[in-house]
Amino acid sequence: MHTANRRSPVGYQGMKSSTRISFIAGFVVFLSLVSGVSFAAWSASSTQTATASAGAVALTTATASGASTISALGPHTYTASNQSLTKAITVRNTGTVEATVSTIAITRSGTLGGDQIAVKFWVGTNSSCAATTPVVSATLAGGTVSLSTLKMKLASTGSAILCTSTTFTGSLVSQAGKTTTATFAINSSAGTNWNATDVVAEAGRSFTQSIFQTKAPNAPTGTMCVNERSDYTVTVSWNAPAGFTTPNGGYNVYYDGSLIGNSTTTTASITGNATWADITIRAVASDGTMSVDSADIPVRPRGYEYRSGYYGIACN
């Protein structure tokens, strides 16, 4: 039998040795991990001839200059439901063998539930991240998401763009002021035994997103009441409060403390019969935050008949 001499690799220097060998029986695969870089040996079944090699798998989401690309997803504040943010994550293979992006592990913390933020991943041809297929969909709720369907291969020392879109899918009213911080850990693999995880520090793989919370608007001013021709209708009006700009949620109208409607203008027609009550108005911000009540607008019955009693509605 002829045996070729070869050198043993020393540490991780990307050194390779290759020997053409015919085997009668296979031998055991071994894998060792040194400083986050994977080394592997090969195995061959009986009667097969194969080439054995040593290499390294390594991954980073930082640019060549060291800038983080995942952290570009925050800080970000959503000001409306179904609002999205799209960023390009640069994935670089700094190893010596071709690798495939395999999974992304998502962890999060904060008052905003991860299920309130949908996330999508796809392979981009450039940093503009035009929509394409296939797309992997998930949420920021946490867990490991497979990216295998993207078939994102990275040549040795090569790079690719993983487009990432986050979308707030919850209610702006109920989630206002809440915040979440998410961390991504992208993994790559070569064959069945070689794996590498993004070497960027956690701070460079994290981002914070929050939901806009407005300051409560001022109360409407200048309330007025006018009797209409009908004995059972009055029209109330008011002035928009200072600083109440569009878009907004209009004005809620209350009849003795009970909500009876919302007006997008500064007037409302009120119908009633034989009651004494106070009408109040509240300005509503775009996220549902309301002002305190306006000054009361009192109303009373329009008249009285001996046989039937009080009837109608009138401004007091």
Whether residue 124 sits in one domain with residue 66:
yes
216 within some domain: no
Indicate the DSSP class of residue 47.
T
> Other CB atoms closer than 10 Å to residue 134's CB: what's the count?
11
Whether residue 91 sits in one domain with residue 207:
yes
Whether residue 194 sits in one domain with residue 78:
yes
- Res 31: pLDDT: 34
Indicate whether 15 pLDDT > 80.
no
- Mean of pLDDT over the chain: 85
Angle formed at CA 313 by CA 307 and CA 316, multiple of 5 degrees: 115
Which of 30, 55, 80 delimits the end of a domain? 55
pLDDT digits 0-9 by tens, 242-281: 999 888 999 999 999 999 999 999 999 999 999 999 999 9
User: What is the percentage of the chain residues whose pLDDT exceeds 90?
Assistant: 74
192 within some domain: yes
Whether residue 164 sits in one domain with residue 81:
yes
Indicate the DSSP class of residue 181.
E
Whether residue 169 sits in one domain with residue 68:
yes
286 within some domain: yes
Identity of the residue numbered 122: W
154 within some domain: yes
Whether residue 63 sits in one domain with residue 50:
no
- Res 50: pLDDT: 28
Indicate whether 103 pLDDT > 70.
yes
Whether residue 81 sits in one domain with residue 24:
no
pLDDT digits 0-9 by tens, 154-198: 999 999 999 999 999 999 888 989 999 999 999 999 987 889 999
Q: How confident is the model at residue 204 (pLDDT cuts 50, 70, 90)?
A: very high
Counted domains in the chain? 3
User: What is the percentage of the chain residues whose pLDDT exceeds 70?
Assistant: 83
Whether residue 87 sits in one domain with residue 44:
no
Indicate the DSSP class of residue 74.
-
Indicate whether 139 pLDDT > 60.
yes
Whether residue 140 sits in one domain with residue 21:
no
Whether residue 310 sits in one domain with residue 262:
yes
Q: In terms of residues, how long is the chain?
A: 316
Which of 190, 211, 232 delimits the end of a domain? 211
Q: Is the dihedral of CA 308, 312, 313, 314 positive or negative?
A: negative
Which of 180, 211, 242 delimits the end of a domain? 211
Indicate whether 29 pLDDT > 70.
no
The CATH code of the domain that includes 159 is: 2.60.40
What CA–CA distance (Å, rounded) separates 36 from 57?
9
Indicate whether 136 pLDDT > 60.
yes
Question: Model pTM?
Answer: 0.61
What CA–CA distance (Å, rounded) separates 184 from 123?
16
- Domain holding 15, by residue range, is 1-55
> Other CB atoms closer than 10 Å to residue 313's CB: what's the count?
25
